[in-house]
Structure formats: structure tokens, C-alpha cells
Amino acid sequence: MTDTTRAEPAGSAKRTTRDLTRAAVSGWLGTAMEFMDFQLYSLAAAIVFNKIFFPDVSPAIGLIAAMATYGVGYVARLAGAVYFGRMGDRIGRKKVLYLTILLMGASTTLIGALPTYATIGILAPVLLVVLRLVQGFGAGAEIAGATVMLAEYAPAKRRGLISSLVSLGTNSGTLAASGLWAILLAVLSEEQLLSWGWRLPFLLSFALMIFAVWLRGNLKESPVFEERADVVDGVAMSREEVESALDKASLEEKREGVLEAGIRQRKGKAFFLSLGLRFGQAGNSGLIQTFLVGYIATNLDAGRAVPTDAILYGSLLGFVTVPLVGLLGDRFGRRPMYVALTLLTMVLAFPMMLLITSGNTAALMLGMVLALNIGVLGLFSLESVTMAELFGSRTRFTQLALSKEIGGILATAVGPVIAASLTAVTGSWWPIAAMLVVYSLITLTSALLAPETRGRDLVRLEDAA
């Protein structure tokens, strides 16, 4: 039976509701795979890699080496953002998303098939680093590509809600990876885990990769990319080709001035606004999901299970928070929601930290769940659609990928180090709350300086700012 129901298009290229559903599932699945792959690796690096890939050094040095292999992936992410971002703007979103999911899935599966140090010596950790670099290279553009594809597919009135599926994918992937490792640790002995059990999560990801590759192979190109004024036969014209085309009056009339606006606009403002929007969410995430887990376990003597469980419960609540924020953003606009969430985080920063450090387990859980959902997941839901709407279609993929990766590296990597230093010097928790306020203030300022983007025509080549 033919599906004749139409999804409201961003441009005049028509897509059915079935096409939209396939794009939504593809975006969610790709993001889930990205975060599952990285969570699988981070847990393996912390639990077993120091013993099976770096056994000839002390346990402490082995752990540092294992975590270093985790860190190189973030360097590769930035390179992937540049390479695949430009490719996505030039030849289309679909082809890039197909390549990124293939790179991520293949490298993750091959990690599970690697020989250990006991088998091939130093070559084992070398191959591990190579696969980690390939994995990060593909992941650098995955979340940006999924964000762009969903935003460009979605009906304008439901763009925030549908784009929030990218944020839900992060929750799904993290929970899946954590669940797999929890099962392994519960049912296998240490000997079984070190000999073959650690391979299972990586090898099982192969089935998910096959489904994702099939799904994206059958996905239609973004309707926005097809409607771009500088796209000819499915490939975007270079800047020189566009400038040459502008000299032809017939083409300029046909494009109704859109080409000229897109090619001659001054670049940069939208990118820095996007960085600011990213900074609050990524910075808060580094503090809440990374630093606070260790701080609670070591400084508050609560045990690692308590903050980990709090993150788990907060992530589960996020399956409600994320689409709700997306829906409210569609109803009231992106700026009002950014203002509400950042102000709420700033007002509640010190009260939430008082709950977390109260010594009461229930209060600690409540503080962590609130902080995660208001200061991280809610902002992530808004970020997914707002950053896509800020950029013009000519360079949307590249600018979005770079702002996500650069903002994430600066805020997430540096934040926990600063927090650890300040709490050590002061002997108190208040610097953590102060940093939550500062990060949120950066995002609030960026939101106030940015234009309202709800309902923007995403086919336009120029940035919104």
C-alpha cells in the first residue's frame, strides 16, 4: 500500500511521513551508537584494558595508558568534524552519515577482535590506538550530521521535538553500554572477563551496525540540501562557481537573491553564538556527569554506586525531559526556553549542591537528578535544533560539527580539571556551584544575543546572525 501522507517539507522537495520516520530512527540510532561505542570503550579502558593491553607496567601507569587511548579519540573527533563537515556541505548529508556510521561500527567491532599484548606484544596497543582514532574520526561528524538531517527533515512546527531525538540517542547509547558492562561484571569471573568476556560488547555491536548501515543506505537525501540554490546535480557549487553564476542575471533572478545573500554574508557571528550555547551544556555535563561522580565518591565517602545510580535515574527521567523541552521550544520559541533553563540552573546551583553534599542519600540523588535534567539534558534538547537553525544551509554541517566539537573539548575537558583544583584549594564544594553559574551565564548571554530561530527557513544559504 502506498504511503501518501506527507510530512511538511522544509523546502519544496517532498518527503512522506515514512521518510521522516526513517530519518528520525536513523538519527536516533546513529547517536545512540556513537555514545554506546564511546561508553563501551571508556568502561573497558577503566576496567580491563590496562591489564590486557598494558600488562608490563604498574597498575597505575597501565590505567593512565589505557585512558590515554580513550583520550586520543577526542583529537580524532575534531579532524572528523572538519573533514566530514565540509563533505556533508558539498555532496550531501546522506553520504556522509553512511560513511560515519560505517567507520564507527567497523572500528568498534574490530576492537573486540583484537589480539592482546600476550599474543602479539606492543603491536596490540598500537592497533588499539589506530582503531580508536578511526572510531573518533567517524564520530566527529556523526552527532552533527544526525542533528542536521533531523532538523532539515522535520516539519517547521515540530522541528524542536523531532530534533530532540538526537539527545535521546545519547541517553539510549550510554544506558545500553552501561547495562552490558553491568551484566558482564555480575555474571563473569575476573578470569572469564579478562580472557574473552570483554570482547562481547564490542562484537555484539556488529549487528547494530548492520541495521544502521542498511537503514541509512535506504534513507533519502535531506530535502533542504536538494533545495539549496547552489546545488547542481546533487553537488554544491564551489565559492568560485557561485560567484561566476551570480554574474548571470537569469540565474540570479531564478534564485531570487538567495545565492547572493549566502555567498556574500560575513561569517563568524553565528559560529561564536553557537559556541556559547554549546559551552553551558557541555560545561555543565563535564561537572555533573564526570567530576561530581568522583567528587561524591572520594570527598563525600558516599561510594561510587550512589552517584552512578543518580546519573542512571537522571538519564531515565531524561526520556521525559528531552522531548518535553523540544515541544516547549516549538511552542514558545528557543530563546525563552534557553533563558528559563539557564536562569533556573543559576538560581538552583547552590541549593542543588547543598542537597548533594547534605550527607543524605535521597537528597543527594534529588540534587543530581535535578542538575542533570535542567542544566544538561534540557539544554542539549534545545541545542540540537537551535544550532542547526542558526547556520545557513551552505555551511551548516561544517559549522555545527566544529562548534560542537570545539565547545565540547574546551568546556568538558577543562572544566573538571578546574573544578578539581578549586575544590582542593578551598576544601569546599562552592566552586562547583559557581562554575555551574558561570557556564550557564555564558549560554544565557549567547541566547540573548542570538536571534529567535524557531520556524526559520532552513533552505536559506545565509546564517541567521
Residue with cell 544526525: 146
Q: Is 86:140 a contact under the CB 8 Å cutoff? A: no
The architecture (CATH level 2) of 265-449 comes to: Up-down Bundle (1.20)
Across the range 300-320, mean pLDDT stands at 81
Across the range 72-100, mean pLDDT stands at 86
Q: Which pLDDT score is estimated for 2?
A: 38
Higher pLDDT, 266 or 145: 145
d(CA 330, CA 299): 42
Confidence of residue 431 (pLDDT cuts 50, 70, 90): very high
Across the range 361-379, mean pLDDT stands at 93
Distances 113 to 49, 102, 137, 196, 199 between C-alpha atoms, Å: 14, 17, 20, 10, 7
Across the range 290-294, mean pLDDT stands at 76
Return the closest-CA partner of residue 35 out of 208, 193, 222.
208
Q: Is 456:154 a contact under the CB 8 Å cutoff? A: no
Confidence of residue 192 (pLDDT cuts 50, 70, 90): confident
pLDDT digits (tens, 9 = 90+) for 153-169: 888 899 999 988 888 88
Q: What is the pTM of this model?
A: 0.82
C-alpha cell at position 41: 570503550
d(CA 258, CA 462): 8
Q: Which pLDDT score is estimated for 411?
A: 82
Higher pLDDT, 18 or 11: 18
Across the range 87-95, mean pLDDT stands at 88
Confidence of residue 91 (pLDDT cuts 50, 70, 90): confident
Kindly tell me if the per-residue pLDDT of 241 is higher than 70.
Answer: no
DSSP, res 196: I
Domain layout of the chain by residue ranges: 14-226, 232-262, 265-449
Confidence of residue 1 (pLDDT cuts 50, 70, 90): very low
Confidence of residue 190 (pLDDT cuts 50, 70, 90): confident
**Which secondary-structure segment (H or E) carries 110?**
helix 93-111
Rg (CA), the chain: 23
Domain 14-226 matches domain 265-449 at the CATH topology level: yes
d(CA 432, CA 425): 12
Distances 30 to 52, 103, 193 between C-alpha atoms, Å: 29, 12, 28
The CATH topology of domain 14-226 is: Growth Hormone; Chain: A; (1.20.1250)
pLDDT digits (tens, 9 = 90+) for 381-415: 999 899 999 999 888 999 999 998 888 888 876 78
d(CA 385, CA 310): 27
Kindly tell me if the per-residue pLDDT of 128 is higher than 90.
Answer: no
Beta-bridge partners for 231: 236
Across the range 39-66, mean pLDDT stands at 67
Kindly tell me if the per-residue pLDDT of 337 is higher than 80.
Answer: yes
Q: Which pLDDT score is estimated for 386?
A: 95
Q: Is 100:162 a contact under the CB 8 Å cutoff? A: no
C-alpha cell at position 351: 541549593
Confidence of residue 266 (pLDDT cuts 50, 70, 90): low
Across the range 88-101, mean pLDDT stands at 88
State the chain's mean pLDDT as an integer: 82
Distances 24 to 171, 395, 397 between C-alpha atoms, Å: 16, 22, 17
